[in-house]
Amino acid sequence: MRRAAVLPLLTLLGAATAAAAGKEGASPSETPSGRRVVAGGIALELAVEPVSPGGGTAAEPREGDAVVRFRLSDAATGTPLAGVSPAAWMDLLRGGESAGGNCTSRVKEILSESLFNRPAVDLNVYYVLALNQDATLTVVDPLFGFGGTKLLALVELDSPGEDWALSADRSRLFVSMPESNRLAVVDTASWKKVASLEVGTRPGRVALQPDGAYLWVALDGPDGAGVAAVDTRSLKVAAGIPTGRGRHDLAVSDDNRFVFVTNRDAATVSVIDVAKLAKARDAETGPLPASVAFSTQARAAYVTSEEGGTITAVPAPGKGAGQGARIALETGLGAIRFAPGGRLAFVLNPQRNRLYVLDAASNRIVQKADAEGGPDQVTFTQELAYLRQRNSDSVLMVPLKEIGKEGAPVPAVDFTGGQNPLGKISRPSPADSIVGAPGATAVLVANPADGAIYYYQEGMAAPMGSFTNYGRQPRAVLVVDRSLRERQPGSYETVARLQAGRYRVALFLDSPRTVHCFELSVAEDPVLAVQRLREQPVKVEPRILDRELTAGQTTRLGFRLTDPVTGKPEEGLTDVNVLVYLASGTWHRRQWARGLGDGLYEVDFAPPAGGTYQVSVECLSQRLPFHRSPRVVLRVTEKPPAPSP
């Protein structure tokens, strides 16, 4: 299921049917903050407010990004209805169509998950982001229930990203870009890069404090060995702090007081005092420290040494803090990460194909297991640990309830995460390639060599679905949850992008079971209207007569490009690029088109083999990327064999 706050489908369908009796009868009344009704003893209030100034009022919101908020309370006492899971959708109304006439029927249609019954705006979605091998981020709406995706944005970066972090309110995404020595700041409402900050030489790992005040950026360049603290409100570098030579990993204490920075070439870890924005001390770790993680129970950071084969505990400064324990294992140690609770850590050794379980309460290794595929990353849900294996296409799953029992075997099962080894990529990233999916016991797995992201539901033998990453390699994956969230008791909100028009806003509540549809009018924003005209891409009209071809047969692929407003032909363009690719993703070719006059452009194409090909056009000078181009399908048959003599 793609909804983060919605119960299983069969329950919902039954609830929607039961809600038809008497829950929609109240008439809406205007309030200063929106619309309010009483249904079945529950007061339901809808408010829509602009994300940014100038976006209209609550009474008449304008198109653009808006906060959609539902307040639920007991009608008699006014007590907020907290801890429930409302779901909501928005439909554009046509002509004289009424918002409430078929409310329950419409909710049942939406819950049937038919591709033909999708709402205009789904307020229960999450978006999947891919950190690509090129200087882009892919943002998609994963329509697993419908068998596909919807590309929302392709965010252009200054250079390929290395690591990323999402703000606690999900409004901003921070991406380090080592080749350009910058940090990108992406607004997750508009999916636009809103800032590009100079932070120092070769920014790599990033870590956000739990309170969100500072983003810590590791600087891996030889002339800037250390970290930068970025103020997330002002988007300015608050401090640059030297630590030590070599690449760095980061961990932040849960009380926001200390940052632990490994220094690979110096064989140390630096402890940063956040209040002073200065280094408090250095601690020795053993040669080539590889990874660091903070234990909330032990109040210490634990650092793995790749060459020394040890784990060093570094206590947070404070009363009685000193040098911590050192646990000897074997060379080749890599990632360390604590499971929920902060006591038990998974320690991975990809060189020796081993997994260790560390108990921070006793500073001992209590379990170990073989993992033949080279485990190099671990991600946790509430029930399971997921281990990526860089030399295998399988993902290992370990039940968390079975770890921590000293000497007991580590039970593990696996599922395939694609067709190729998960670590097969020329440009690895330290960011997670396996993440949990909101509202479900499921994970998303990025397979770079497959160019795909897989959706795995716990308990299944194989992934339930997947989607290709629009021709790019997903090096890491991230989820931005846009489902309704309880911000205050009884107040549930999310951010949505609205266009001008009249909407039916359907609200569904399972307990107490309630369905109600509000009507909402959204006014056109004149500034956005002008901006839309200016930002429309050039119009493309395919001029391809023969779309049934034979392998080896040369044909001409023609396109006519015209101004989207005036309809006049666009002549003299020198950046018309034609992409032809096999639908299977195994072959592609790009060619610069030649201009023929009157807005006509063409290339010659001879398909190398049989199959289904797709053709699209790019012209960046006219605001046309490949993903916004109309696609032309060519069907190619193999050339018949020559007759025998």
Nearest in space to 335 (alpha carbons), one of 364, 314, 304: 304
Question: Quick check: 227 and 261 in contact, CB under 8 A?
Answer: yes
**Residue 20 binned pLDDT confidence (cut-offs 50, 70, 90):** very low
Judged against a pLDDT cut of 80, whether residue 22 lies above it is answered with no
Strands 548-550 and 632-637: parallel
Among 1-5, 124-128, 388-392, the least confident range: 1-5
Residue 228's pLDDT band, with cuts at 50, 70 and 90, is: very high
Q: Give the CATH architecture of domain 536-637.
A: Sandwich (2.60)
Q: What is the DSSP string of 447-485?
A: ETTTTEEEEEETT-SS-SEEEE-TTS-EEEEEEEE-S-E
For 159-414, the fitting CATH number among 2.40.50.140, 3.90.76.10, 2.130.10.10, 3.60.15.10 is 2.130.10.10
| Nearest C-alpha neighbor of 445 from the set 479, 413, 412 | 479
Give the per-residue pLDDT at 439.
Answer: 66
Instruction: Supply 26's token pair.
Output: 């109240």
Least confident of 32-41, 306-315, 608-617: 32-41
If one compares 223 and 288, the residue with the highest pLDDT of the two is 288
Q: How confident is the model at residue 640 (pLDDT cuts 50, 70, 90)?
A: confident
9-123+485-529 classified as CATH 3.40.50.170? no
Average pLDDT of 125-138? Answer: 94
Query: What pLDDT, on the 0 to 100 scale, is given for residue 114?
Result: 58
Q: Give the CA distances from residue 442 to residues 6, 303, 571, 631, in Å, rounded to whole numbers and listed in that order.
A: 15, 30, 51, 33
Cis peptide before 512 (omega within 30 of 0): yes
Residue 306's closest CA among 284, 326, 286, 324?
Answer: 286
pLDDT at 251: 98
| Confidence tier at 294 by pLDDT (50, 70, 90) | very high
| Crossing angle of the two packed helices 103-111 and 9-18, in degrees rounded to 10 | 170
When pLDDT is cut at 50, 70 and 90, the band that residue 64 belongs to is: confident
Domain ranges in the chain with CATH number 2.60.40.1930 = 536-637
pLDDT digit string, tens, across residues 515-552: 999 999 998 888 777 777 777 899 999 999 889 999 99
**pLDDT for residue 175 is more than 80:** yes
Amino acid at site 594: R
The confidence band for 115, taking pLDDT boundaries of 50, 70 and 90, is: low
List pLDDT tens digits, range 493-521: 998 888 889 999 999 988 788 999 999 99
CATH 2.130.10.10 occupies which residues in the chain? 159-414
Higher-confidence position of 168 and 378: 378
Question: pLDDT confidence of 565, banded at 50, 70, 90?
Answer: confident
Report the alpha-carbon distance of residue 501 to residue 93 in Å, rounded: 8
Cα–Cα nearest to 262, from 273, 254, 251? 251
The answer, yes or no, to whether residue 144 has pLDDT greater than 80, is no
193-207 mean pLDDT: 96
- Give the pLDDT confidence score for residue 30 in this predicted structure: 37
Give the per-residue pLDDT at 14.
Answer: 40
The rounded percent of the chain whose pLDDT value lies above 90 is 66
